[in-house]
Structures are given as C-alpha cells and as structure tokens.
Amino acid sequence: MAETAGEQTVLVPVSARQFLRVLVIGAVVGLMTWGLTVLLDQYVFKNIICKGMESMQCAGSLQYANISASILSAGVALFVLAKLLVFRALLVVIAATVGLWGIAATLQPLGWQFALPAMILLSMAAYGLFAWVGRLRSFPLALIIVIVLVASTRFVLNL
C-alpha cells in the first residue's frame, strides 16, 4: 500500500540496514554479557566472596557476575542504540535485559561451546523482537505487547 504525505502507518519505518544493525548489536551484547559474566565471576566475585567462605556462599558469585555483566552490557547497548537513533532504544534495552535476566548464569554449566552461541542467538532474537515491537507508534500498545512478551520469555526460560 502506497503511503501518501498525510497518511501515517501503524509502524515507524525502519530500513533493513538499521534492523540488521540492531541484530548485530544484540549479538555483540550477548557475547559481551557472556564474556563479562565469565571474567567477573573468575577474577572479581570469586576472589571477594569465596575467600575463607564455605562453598554455599561461593556458589552465588556466578549470579552476581551475571547481574553485573547484564547491567554493563545493557548500558553499552543503550548508548549504541541511541547513537544509531533506534526508535524507543530504552524500551528495547530494558525489555531485552529483563527478558534474558540470568540466562548467562543458567547456560554457564552447559559449557562454553553451547552457552556462548546460545547467548548470542538469544540476545540477537531479543533485541530484534523488541526493536520490531518498539516500532509501534502507539506507546501504550507497544508497552503492553512488550510486557506480555517479557513475561512470556521469563516463563519459558524458567521452565
């Protein structure tokens, strides 16, 4: 359907190139989250939490590392998406971060050969999905759909 000057579509237009950039950013965020989780767990949190402590408290170091890595990666993603002028970048980053909260720590015991590609693909899919939904012109509708999708994602990942 051709768009005239006075007619607006339901979705904000986005080029294929910009959407591809969002997917690449999602992949980089997945890689960064997984890598930072491993590094922070190994070199920061285990050294702080596990010194002279029982293994029960030491087991929480991976969760702390994942939380820190997710927040740092989300900050970088928000900066880059805003720089690329992605529509509703904050909504995309918050939804993807909450939707994938704790997934790196969940995937970690499966080994890096599975965890790393899975984290990259899941982050790519999350950023792509929420960037696509965020294109809706109606913010309340976009917010409701994002909340439903995040809740569904959390439900599926916690099975």
In a domain, 6, yes or no: no
Please give the Cα distance from 21 to 92 (Å, whole number).
14
Q: Does pLDDT of 6 surpass 60?
A: no
Q: 109-132: per-residue pLDDT in tens?
A: 888 899 999 999 999 999 999 999
Q: 55-64: per-residue pLDDT in tens?
A: 667 778 888 9
Q: 3-state SS of 95-131? A: HHHHHCCCHHHHHHHHCHHHHHHHHHHHHHHHHHHHH
According to DSSP, residue 43 is labeled: I
| Residues forming beta bridges with residue 136, ordered by sequence position | 11
Give the pTM: 0.89
101: containing domain: 16-157
In a domain, 143, yes or no: yes
In a domain, 10, yes or no: no
In a domain, 91, yes or no: yes
CA dihedral in degrees (149, 152, 158, 159; nearest 10)?
-150
| Domains identified in the chain, total number | 1
Looking at residue 80, its pLDDT comes to 97
Q: Does pLDDT of 157 surpass 70?
A: yes
Mean pLDDT of the chain: 90
In a domain, 51, yes or no: yes
| N- to C-terminal Cα separation, the chain | 42
In a domain, 67, yes or no: yes
Q: Does pLDDT of 102 surpass 80?
A: yes
Q: 1: pLDDT confidence band, cut at 50, 70 and 90?
A: very low
In a domain, 61, yes or no: yes
In a domain, 82, yes or no: yes
Residue in this structure with the two tokens 């890598």, named with its chain if needed: 35
| Phi, psi dihedrals of residue 135, rounded to the nearest 5° | -75, -10
Q: Residue 45: name the closest of 29, 65, 27, 26 by CA.
A: 65
